[in-house]
Amino acid sequence: MLLTLVSFIVVLGVLIFIHEFGHYITAKKSGIMVSEFALGFGPKLIYKKVGETLYSIRAIPLGGFCNMVGEFPADESMPEEEREVYEKAKNDGRLFTQKSPLKKLAVILMGPVMNFLLAVVIFILTFALFGVPTSTDSAAILGEVIPEQPAAEAGLQPGDKILAINQEKVDTWQEMASLIRANEGSEIVVEYQRNGSVNTVSITPVSSPDSEGGVIGIYPKLVRENVSIFRSLVLGFQQTFMIVELTIMGFVQMIAQRSAEDIGGPVMIASIIGQAARVGIVNLLNWTAIISINLGIINLLPFPALDGGRILFIILEIIRGKEVDPKIESYIHMLGFAILIMLMIFIVYRDLMRSFF
């Protein structure tokens, strides 16, 4: 649980920081005043004002924001201090709304773009440092043990060498897998070697929709081939484009079938990250890249309050030759945000019911 929690906070923190930094640095370069750059929501835990910008870490690590002055119109309820900052930015021509549509588009678009670039960098580093998987080892040695599956619950770990199942000697992965598949629902005695010592453990293989017969949640060792840094660069971009394509196809299929079964929230993400961390660093890095890509795509959806919704209004401004009434746009984004919060509450509730009940 501790590993899951720490991994979740670190990974989510990195993803949010990269996303918001994309907005922040582009806004700064565009001459827009940024009043606050925050990781998380809720009460401030750590904060420091440097120049005109307040940098803060907040109590709830489920998001973040880059508060650009003028992103929302001033109203009567605005505190005096904020109004002074607003008026100063307005007089200096540094409000978000005072910038050209192309500059505003670049600022909003750069958040999701940074998520895609992060995925590219992670994949490049993974290929450069750990090589490219080319095949699986034929030996009966565990490469991955899936958390919360029978093998993991019985205490088996990556690197364990399986010697026998029900006292029947096994030399290859195929021999071991055949015996496991043949004993679906029946307890088997697994003899394995770890660090020179031989141990036995009882495991009951379970059924799986992806396999005929029983499974216990294990994968063979991957054989990796070292590649050059140039080849890693090419493969990093290719891997990112492939996952972007598969993710978009998954969204389209989900909408076409009107199915929300695969949608998950923070609880599901935390579970995935925790499992990946327990399997190993390569698995954790790969899942971080995949989640970053998903975050980038979701933020580009043309829904109010998301980056895609803001981009839609900027495109309308370009087409019409004048911006949409800022107050109307603000109300639409507020409504979209309220809908997103209700949707998130529902998703978290469903995640909890699915995980614990």
Query: Residues with catalytic annotation?
Result: 20
Sign of CA dihedral 327, 330, 334, 335: positive
- Sequence-ordered list of residues with C-beta below 8 angstroms from that of 199, at least 6 positions apart, any chain: 191, 192, 193
Q: 273, exposed or middle or buried, with CB in 10 Å at 0-12, 13-18, 19+?
A: buried
Dihedral pair phi/psi, residue 20, rounded to 5°: -70, -30
In which region does residue 177 sit, left (phi positive, over 0), alpha (psi from -120 to 50) or beta (all else)? alpha
Cα–Cα separations (whole angstroms), residue 206 to 149, 172, 335? 9, 21, 46
Alpha-carbon distances, residue 138 vs 34, 134, 143, 170, 172 (angstroms): 56, 13, 11, 11, 6
Query: CA angle 109-115-120, nearest 5°?
Result: 125
Size (the chain), residues: 357
List the structure tokens of 4. Answer: 């899951």
